[in-house]
Amino acid sequence: MFKKMVITSAAVIGSTFGFVVPVMAEPVVIQSQPDHVANSSSRGISSSPGPDPAFVENLMFQVRDLEQQVAEQRGLVEELNYQIQMLQQEQKERYVDLDQRLLNMQQQLDMQAVAPAEREVSPSLSESAVSDEDILAEYNAARDLIRNRDFPGAITALADFAQAHPNHELTPNAWYWLGEVHLVSREVTQAQAAFETVVDDFGGHAKVPDSLYKLGVIAQQQERGSQATELFNRVISEYPGSQSAKLAQARLDSN
């Protein structure tokens, strides 16, 4: 009887263990989070706040300010280039005028020197021709000093020429170039006096419009705007079509 109970108990226990073992042997499944949840969590951890709006606005303001400054500088450079072109053209016209006058004077001297036997030459005419040659040589020597940029020497030579030959045909040119050399040497008062001498004492001479224009330039540089405008308009009205009138108009248009 006792043996049957033992056998029955063992059978029950064995069946119990046989049921438990398969259940415990089943693998445990670990459930992971979806990818979008993990990524959003990771981004939330590594994200940083954006730039300060006030800082960005300040940078934009500085950029606009720099752009404005660059535009202003570009305009200034264009204006200076235009003025340089005008001055170069003015200088070219001035030399052409001077060379033409010197050529005309030389031709007159040659005509006086040729064929002495065909006409009676009085002593006074002969002396006058020699004097004109000397005067021309004296004037050319003064101009050579300008070309060699010996401005102090040119000022002395031109002033001596104008004083020694107050009524000669080249004297207005000497006064004009004297004004130019003084202006280059930054002696504005002396330059103005020389140009005024051409205008006041040699009316009708070809250098009058050039001298008027230079007086307008001096007035403009000294910030005497109304006087500069008056002088430029005078050049335009009294000497239309001249190179000085074109330069004066350009000065008025640039203001």
CB 169 within 8 A of CB 105: yes
Domain borders along the chain are: 80-111+125-254
pLDDT the model gives residue 89: 65
Nearest Cα to 86, choosing from 253, 247, 255, 200?
247
By residue count, the chain amounts to 255
Nearest Cα to 101, choosing from 196, 194, 169?
169
Reported confidence tier of residue 64, pLDDT bands at 50, 70, 90: confident
Tell me the per-residue pLDDT of 116-130, one tens digit each, with 9 for 90 and over. 444 343 443 333 443
pLDDT the model gives residue 226: 93
pLDDT the model gives residue 188: 95
Residue 245 Cα to chain centre, angstroms: 23
Tell me the per-residue pLDDT of 166-202, one tens digit each, with 9 for 90 and over. 999 999 999 999 999 999 999 999 999 999 999 999 9
**Distance of alpha carbon 57 from alpha carbon 143, whole angstroms:** 62
Is the model more confident about 155 or about 98?
155
CB 232 within 8 A of CB 216: yes
Query: Average pLDDT of the chain?
Result: 75
**Among 1.25.40.10, 1.50.10.20, 1.10.1380.10, 3.40.1440.60, what is the CATH number of 80-111+125-254?**
1.25.40.10
* Chain position carrying tokens 């051409």: 198
| pLDDT surpasses 60 at 10 | no
